[in-house]
Amino acid sequence: MTRFGSLKSMVSCTRRNSSASISLIYGKSFFALILSVLVAQALIGGAFASARGSRGDAEASFDPEPSSAEIIQGIDNAVRNREKVVAGYTVKDHYAIYRNGGATPAAEMTVQTVYTKGVGKSFTTLSESGSGLLRSTVIEKIIAGEKEMSTADVRDSVLVNSTNYEMTPDLTRTQLNGKDCYLVALKARRKSPHLFNGKAWVDASDFSVLRLEGTPSQSPSFFAGDSTMARDYSKFDGIPMAVRAEAHSHNFLLGDTTLKIESTDYQIQRNP
């Protein structure tokens, strides 16, 4: 539900004027973090088959809690099932950047995203407003990274599975938006701006991911400051897809920056 490679700093630091200062803050870690979770939207598991497998009639009335290994296997199976089932999709993505707690976006862009398995993503801009500098140095860079990470030769290296992450499930069930789930700690198996360290809320019924939170596994640049990211998923025709994301970055020069992404109007194509 879930794509990373190194990004150069988006802009350079200067103190000549306030407009130039805005460009300082967008170091690579903020965008790499966003990418690391954005790309998960096409990769995190689905609800197509119970990863626990069939159980006998004697267990029909009571299913024992799964072990850590079974939860991890369930997540891996959900990822594989989704990759087999989804041939492509279209979605409308709205990006909005907020500065220092402002109620009005400093920049916005809405795009139509088309994903085709084996090919990757393409984007068509539907509308845009606000700061052109922020759109070009933030939103357009994120979209370019998404496109790169969706290609067939990169996908496997960024899947949210046990190949790319050490997973440590908490066997005590918790609730998220009224659903039973397991909280799973994630640690990237290698340092990369396209992988993250954090946690996942996994649906207890089918092991699909409901929510991701994290920070980049690769050390952030000095000017990017502290960055965090959260992304939520909902099911469409039984398939978990990303519906919203929120990323925060703070640094001593320009304070707080927030990026919000809303994904709507999914149309999913299944393999026969």
User: At 185, which CATH number?
Assistant: 2.50.20
Predicted confidence at residue 7, as pLDDT, reads: 31
| CA–CA distance, 196 with 149 (Å, rounded to integer) | 14
In this prediction the pTM is 0.78
Residue 8 forms part of a structural domain:
no
Distances in Å between the Cα of 86 and the Cα atoms of 80, 201, 229, 240, 268 are 10, 22, 26, 11, 7
Domain total in the chain: 1
Residue 56 lies in a domain: no
Q: Residue 163 and residue 141: Cα distance in Å, rounded?
A: 28
Q: Please, what is the Cα angle at 267 between 263 and 271, to 5 degrees?
A: 130
Which candidate, 92, 89, 240, 260, places its Cα nearest to that of 176? Answer: 240
Domain that holds residue 29: 18-50+64-270
Across 46-139, where does the E strand assignment appear? 86-99, 107-116, 120-130
- Residue 10 in domain: no
Residue 9 located in a structural domain: no
3, part of any domain = no
Q: Determine, yes or no, domain membership for 30.
A: yes
Residue 189 identity (one-letter amino acid): R
Whole-number Å distance between alpha carbons of 40 and 36: 7
4 inside domain: no
Which segments in the chain show pLDDT lower than 70? 1-63, 219-225, 253-254
pLDDT of residue 31: 54
Q: Which distant-in-sequence residues (6+ apart) come within 8 Å of 3 by Cβ? A: 35, 36, 38, 39, 40, 43, 146, 148, 149, 150, 154, 155, 157, 158, 194
Please answer whether residues 166 and 189 qualify as being in contact, where contact means their C-beta atoms are separated by less than 8 angstroms: yes
Q: Identify the pLDDT of residue 220.
A: 52
> Could you give the count of Cα atoms lying within 13 Å of 244 in the half-sphere of its Cβ?
2
Whether 246 contacts 23, CB under 8 Å: no
Could you give the CA distance from residue 260 to residue 150 in angstroms, rounded to a whole number? Answer: 20
C-alpha–C-alpha distance, residues 66 and 70, integer Å: 6
- pLDDT for the residue 143: 92
Token pair of 84, please?
């087999």
d(CA 14, CA 2): 36
**13 part of a folded domain:** no
Helix (H, G, I), strand (E, B) or coil at 79: helix
Per the CB < 8 A criterion, the answer to whether 217 and 191 are in contact is: yes
